[in-house]
Amino acid sequence: MTQFEEIFSTTHGSMHQCSHTYRYQLHFKGLVYTFKVNDFQQLKRALDRVDVAAMLHNPDNSCDLEIITPPQSDRCYVLTLCDIIHLKELLAGTKVMLSLNSILKEKLYTAFA
């Protein structure tokens, strides 16, 4: 049974988790991308490597877009500067919520073990 719970959302997208299949699901720009736990870090790193400041300062048209290919996916995201900022915000928020969940789990386990 696949049941996704929301981890974090912004006005531009959301991230969900399925505890049965051990998958995350990203909803962004009308696309739904389901991926494994360890691919989250890789996706976040790929996005973190995008230098927003350099894109802003470069007048070349080719620097207005960035193509991100999510791990183990046959699709790619063609992202504008705004998309990148929104997706970075979404992934950063997700990471914080995952860390918070991890801390809560550990504390609860310690308290009731």
Partner 1 sequence: MKDLVRLKTSLKEEVEHILNEQVKLEALSSSRYLAMAAWCDRNGFDNSANFFYEQAEEERTHMLKFFKYIADMGGRAVSPEVTNIKLEFDSFREIFELALEHEVQVSQAIHRIVDACRKHQDYTTENFLQWFLTEQMEEEYIARRALELFDVIGEEGVGRFMIDQQVTKINYEKPA
Site of interaction with partner 1 (CB under 8 A): 5, 7, 17, 19, 22, 24, 37-38, 40-42, 98, 101-102, 105
Nearer to partner 1, 40 or 77 (CB): 40
Q: How far is the CB of 86 from partner 1 (least distance, A)?
A: 22
Q: How far is the CB of 49 from partner 1 (least distance, A)?
A: 13
Q: How far is the CB of 38 from partner 1 (least distance, A)?
A: 6
The whole-angstrom separation of Cα 72 and Cα 69 is 8
The Cα-based distances of 38 to 2, 24, 72 in angstroms read 19, 10, 11
Nearer to partner 1, 3 or 58 (CB): 3
Name, in order, each residue with C-beta under 8 angstroms of 64's C-beta and a sequence gap of 6 or more: 55, 80, 81
Nearer to partner 1, 81 or 92 (CB): 92
The whole-angstrom separation of Cα 2 and Cα 29 is 22
